[in-house]
Amino acid sequence: MSRTFSDLLRSLPEEDKTLVRHIESVKKKINKRECAFAFNLVGLQENILPGYTNSNFARNGAALLKCRTGLQTGQKVV
């Protein structure tokens, strides 16, 4: 009979369970950030803006180009 993850987790002491849950939480946050990064990168590569972009900023072509260039090169844009 194979044991499930919850069976293994139940057999651990409380301190270890807390550690496992913390690791799961951190991994979830990392995964969420990686997905957001990939989404933004594709948008930059395809020259499209997501819906959350400030429309006043998007109307200023020079500022938008500077921001996109900075994001693509990894430079800080001020």
Angstrom distances, CA of residue 14 to CA of 10, 18, 24, 74: 9, 6, 15, 42
| Residue whose structure tokens are 């057999």 | 11
Same domain, 38 and 14: yes
Q: Which domain holds residue 75?
A: 53-78
**Token pair of 71 as six digits:** 């994001």
Q: What is the crossing angle of helices 61-73 and 14-45, to 10°? A: 130
The tens-digit pLDDT sequence of the chain (78 residues) is 688 988 888 999 999 999 999 999 999 999 999 998 898 888 878 878 776 665 565 556 666 666 666 666 665 555
Give me the number of domains the chain comprises: 2
Number of C-alpha atoms within 13 angstroms, CB side, residue 72? Answer: 12
Same domain, 12 and 38: yes
